[in-house]
Amino acid sequence: MMVDSGATTNQGPIVDMISEKDGDGGYVTGGWKSEDGKLSYGYSSFRGKRATMEDFYDIKTSKINGQMVCMFGIFDGHGGSHAAEYLKQHLFENLMKHPKFITDTKLAISETYPQTDVDFLDSERNTYRDDGSTASTAVLVGNHLYVANVGDSRTIISKAGEAIPLSEDHKPNRTDERKRIENAGGVVMWAGTWRVGGVLAMSRAFGDRMLKQFVVAEPEIQDKEIDEEFELLVLASDGLWDVVPNEDAVSLAGAEEPEKAARKLTEAAFTRGSADNITCIVVRFHHEKAAPVNPKHE
């Protein structure tokens, strides 16, 4: 566990919560539970059938102005791992430095993500590389959840047993995305699947310099107030979602503790034939059960 000593006023230390256990078969797993017992999470990451690992993930917690802040992110690289690794190292750090991170979290996210993309492209300007990455992220500030998505990784939540998507995959053939790309002068064409310029199978991403005019890093953001009906949050790369429907993910995670649930989901995706890297984070919300009211006796 690594603590960032550069904490700001009224902010507790930023704690990097990744404490990896490289288990059998190449699965990397881990988990944690908050001191107040209200939240626990687990993660599992597996290279799978790919020759290289281009999935990265990041989990951070801090206490700011008395509020617990938790950040979860999955970054699925394509064409290389540099963009995904850059996001792991910088995206949440940049977000927490935004002056309105707590007072207007949605604005902070909408400004930080594109700026981090600009910073990444600038850091790569003298290389011949042109890789990119998705970002599926969930930021919990107190009881308020902000899910921000760029690309085709996905976040869902289980509410009263029902799987509810909190992000919509950025695919080039999505009607609004296709229109945006074509209005910018780009083309969406079929090449085994729908692709921007016949190259990229997603319509938003970090990096991808050659397609940047069309493939933006502007996040779509959904925000929810967490109440007692919210049970589980599942973030995963498309290595999971390609073969595991939302409802199955909630069902498989079930009543398992989060680390075991995340491992179970990655194993299920591999067993079902996923040919991609597979990375998953499962967050469980623990709600206090109200004490039964004893009827008054006459």
Q: In this predicted structure, what is the pLDDT of residue 38?
A: 87
Tokens 């729908």 locate to 194
C-alpha 204/C-alpha 150 separation (Å) is 6
Q: In this predicted structure, what is the pLDDT of residue 16?
A: 57
Cβ neighbours around 4 below 10 Å, total: 13
C-alpha 42/C-alpha 261 separation (Å) is 7
Cβ neighbours around 33 below 10 Å, total: 16
Q: In this predicted structure, what is the pLDDT of residue 25?
A: 54
Q: In this predicted structure, what is the pLDDT of residue 17?
A: 55
CATH 3.40.30.120 fits 2-169+218-285, yes or no: no
Q: What is the token pair recorded at 159?
A: 């509410």
- pLDDT tens per residue across span 230-269: 999 999 999 999 999 999 999 999 889 999 999 999 999 9
> 89 φ, ψ to 5°?
-80, -25
Q: What is the token pair recorded at 139?
A: 């930021």
> Following DSSP, what letter does each residue of 21-75 receive, concatenated?
EE-GGG-EEEEEE-TTSSEEEEEEEE-TTSSS--EEEEEEEEEETTEEEEEEEEE
Q: In this predicted structure, what is the pLDDT of residue 207?
A: 97
CA 221 to chain centroid: 12
CA 216 to chain centroid: 17
- pLDDT tens per residue across span 132-180: 999 999 999 999 999 999 999 999 999 988 999 999 999 999 999 999 9
Q: In this predicted structure, what is the pLDDT of residue 37?
A: 84
Q: Which has the closest alpha carbon to 202: 287, 210, 193, 167?
A: 193
Q: In this predicted structure, what is the pLDDT of residue 35?
A: 81
- Neighbouring residues of 193: CB distance < 8 A, sequence distance ≥ 6: 201
- Neighbouring residues of 289: CB distance < 8 A, sequence distance ≥ 6: none
Q: Which has the closest alpha carbon to 233: 298, 139, 151?
A: 139
C-alpha 133/C-alpha 217 separation (Å) is 10
Domain residue extents for the chain? 2-169+218-285, 171-204
- In which residue ranges of the chain is pLDDT below 70? 1-25, 289-298
Q: In this predicted structure, what is the pLDDT of residue 222?
A: 97
Amino acid at 130: D
C-alpha 119/C-alpha 100 separation (Å) is 20
C-alpha 17/C-alpha 2 separation (Å) is 8
Beta bridge partners of 76: 55
